[in-house]
Amino acid sequence: MSKALPVAVAVILGGAALVPVFYASQHPAPAKNHRAAAGTSSEPKKILSYMQGYQMGGQVSPEMDIDGFAQGLRDAREHKPHAYNDQQVKEAIVNYQKELQGKLNSLQEKNKTFLAENAKKAGVKTTASGLQYEIIKQGTGKQATANSTVKVNYEGKLVDGTVFDSSYARGEPAEFPLAGTIPGWIEGIPLLKEGGSIMLYVPAKLAYGEQGNQAIPPNSVLIFKVDLLAVK
């Protein structure tokens, strides 16, 4: 098999990853409860192998077929020949790209429709940049600026309702320099004062654009509910 094909497959599946989560690297989710493992401390090889797989799993695209991935890993480790020839892999790449493009086209239409309809709702305002917002509560404290460090509670979701990040779910507010966030936040949060709450409807060009990330598809409109707790 051509050496270039595995690289091409990795690039395509990696690009299809719908994801980093908004500021998640600075605010990781709480550690999960550890279930009882089949191995014991007397089986270090099994435990360490499991942990390596667990770490790899967190980096694998959601589009990846885990069974196929595991089979490829086993075959490579045992020096078996490839299960698929070059032609099969090339056809799979072409077909997958078509499937992915169809999904992205459908998503773009949904995003356009959402913004057009949302702009008509009472209380929703649109800025010159295209950012849509609705102030739930203005707040009475210090006014935020683009250069402020802010402490917030927030939830971010896609137009289909999928939540991709939430400080509420983590159980603690997030604190960070506003200048290090997406343009939609840099513009939208300064509309508030401490104690205020806002809904932000952020076009892709003011969010993660054509690239997206592991949790966010390319060209996605993002919806945020933000409570501004403190301005520093």
Confidence of residue 119 (pLDDT cuts 50, 70, 90): very high
What is the per-residue pLDDT across 21-53, written as a single tens digit (0 to 9) for each?
A: 344 333 444 444 555 555 455 688 888 888 888
pLDDT of residue 48: 87
Q: Is the pLDDT of residue 223 over 90?
A: yes
Percent of the chain with pLDDT over 90: 58
Q: Is the pLDDT of residue 100 over 60?
A: yes
pLDDT of residue 7: 46
Residue bearing tokens 């550690």: 31
Q: Is the pLDDT of residue 158 over 80?
A: yes
pLDDT of residue 42: 65
pLDDT of residue 108: 85
Are 149 and 175 a contacting pair, CB within 8 Å? yes
pLDDT of residue 25: 37
Tokens of 82: 């490839």
CA distance linking residue 178 with residue 152, whole number of Å: 10
What is the per-residue pLDDT across 196-205, written as a single tens digit (0 to 9) for each?
A: 999 999 999 9
Q: Is the pLDDT of residue 17 over 50?
A: no
CA distance linking residue 211 with residue 180, whole number of Å: 18
Q: How far apart are the first and last CA of the chain?
A: 57
The amino acid at residue 93 is I
Confidence of residue 101 (pLDDT cuts 50, 70, 90): confident
Question: What number is the average pLDDT over the span 115-139?
Answer: 97
Considering 40-49, 90-99, 164-173, the range whose residues carry the highest mean pLDDT is 164-173
Identify the CA nearest to 158 among candidates 91, 105, 107: 107
Single pTM value for the model: 0.67
pLDDT of residue 57: 80
Q: What is the mean pLDDT of the chain?
A: 84
pLDDT of residue 46: 87
pLDDT of residue 23: 40
* Structural domain for 77, as ranges: 1-232
pLDDT of residue 199: 98
CATH of the domain at 139: 3.10.50.40
How many domains, in total, are found in the chain? 1
Question: What number is the average pLDDT over the span 99-104?
Answer: 85
Question: What number is the average pLDDT over the span 80-101?
Answer: 91
Least confident residue range of 37-41, 104-108, 115-119: 37-41
